Structure 1
Amino acid sequence: MRKERIIVYTSGTFDMFHSNHLKMINYAKALGDLLIVGVSTDELVNTYKAPPIVPFEERLAIIEGMKAPDLVIPQRSLEHTEIVKKLHIDIFVVGDDWTGKYDYLEEIGVKVFYFPYGAGTSSTVLKQKIYESYSKIKKRIDTHENPDIVKTPILTK
């Protein structure tokens, strides 16, 4: 007996939302009938990479404002067995930078798709470009001495 509808789950940090995020969410939506998107909490993200620039509540609101997701939920763990069973998820989609990490879900009947994120835009790349650009600008225009670290000559008599 076939299920009434196919439930797809995808998740991510979605920091500094960009086109690859959009592509992955739209790709996940096209694989089934109902799309659930998990947004990683700040606490979760801090366990495996640098803290997000955009706070959790704002990242959640951005994803909720999209057309594709049918449901948006907080993601509090990178272990997905419980959520897959609880929400009856059929398909799990994640970026290919996680290739192999979620193969264990196939053992419980979930199809896993690693979205080809490629070498294009990523939040990490965006952060690095912003930092480099800021550093160049600062170096070019911020040439004054900092009064807090200017050395005063020692007076001798």
Structure 2
Amino acid sequence: MKPIVYVSGTFDLFHSNHLKMIEYGAGFGGTLIVGVSTDELVCTYKNPPAVPYEERAAIISALKYPNMVIPQRSLDHTDRVKDLNIDVFVVGDDWRGKYDYLRDLGVEVYYFPYGEGVSSTRLKQQITEQYNKLKSTADKHENPEIKKS
């Protein structure tokens, strides 16, 4: 019997490591369900996402891998695992150890290694730094059409 695989994430500022994690989940075969964290959930443990839930879910839904994309409203996946008969749970390795309890429910848990590559947090930091640099180096000449009083 093919497994039911659940990939969990925020997927803010979608990037290649997000895609790799979803591809990894798809590699188990069977049904791939991707849980996208709602804005409300994300705000309980970090700053709000830059991209609203509806748009993040639409991006994930447009990919060829997921069979289903659903809102993720809780960090406790006990009921979700039971309700959807999930066999395999995949999440980024920044959550290492957090979901080990699912193994007691017979679920295989995998922490996908993001490594040193791209992350939404790093992308936000880069954008902020580049914007601040641009602001600080912008041409600050006087506008000749504005007369000084």
Smaller-chain TM-score bracket: over 0.9
1:11 Cα offset (Å): 1.1
1:22 Cα offset (Å): 0.1
2:111 to 100, 109, 114: 114
1:67 to 41, 55, 64: 64
Q: Which residue of 1 aligns with 2:81?
A: 84
Matches within 5 A, 1:1-157: 4-141=1-138, 143=140
TM-score by length of 1: 0.88
Where in structure 2 are there 5+ consecutive unaligned residues?
Answer: 143-149
Per-residue CA deviations over 1:69-116 (Å, capped at 9, x if unaligned) read 001000000000000000000000001110000000000100000001
The letter for the 1-side match of 2:136 is K
1:13 Cα offset (Å): 0.6
Name segments (4+ residues, structure 1) moved above 6 Å.
none
The letter for the 1-side match of 2:101 is Y
Greater Cα radius of gyration, structure 1 or 2:
1
Where in structure 1 are there 5+ consecutive unaligned residues?
Answer: 146-157
Q: 1:53 to 1:90 in 2, by over 3 A?
A: same
Q: Identity of counterpart residues, as a percentage? A: 67
1:119 Cα offset (Å): 1.6
1:62 Cα offset (Å): 0.3
Q: How many residues align?
A: 142
The letter for the 1-side match of 2:70 is I
Output the aligned Cα RMSD: 1.2
Report the Cα distance in structure 1 between the residues aligned to 2:28 and 2:132, rounded to whole angstroms. Answer: 43
Q: Which residue of 1 aligns with 2:147?
A: none
Report the Cα distance in structure 1 between the residues aligned to 2:45 and 2:78, rounded to whole angstroms. Answer: 19
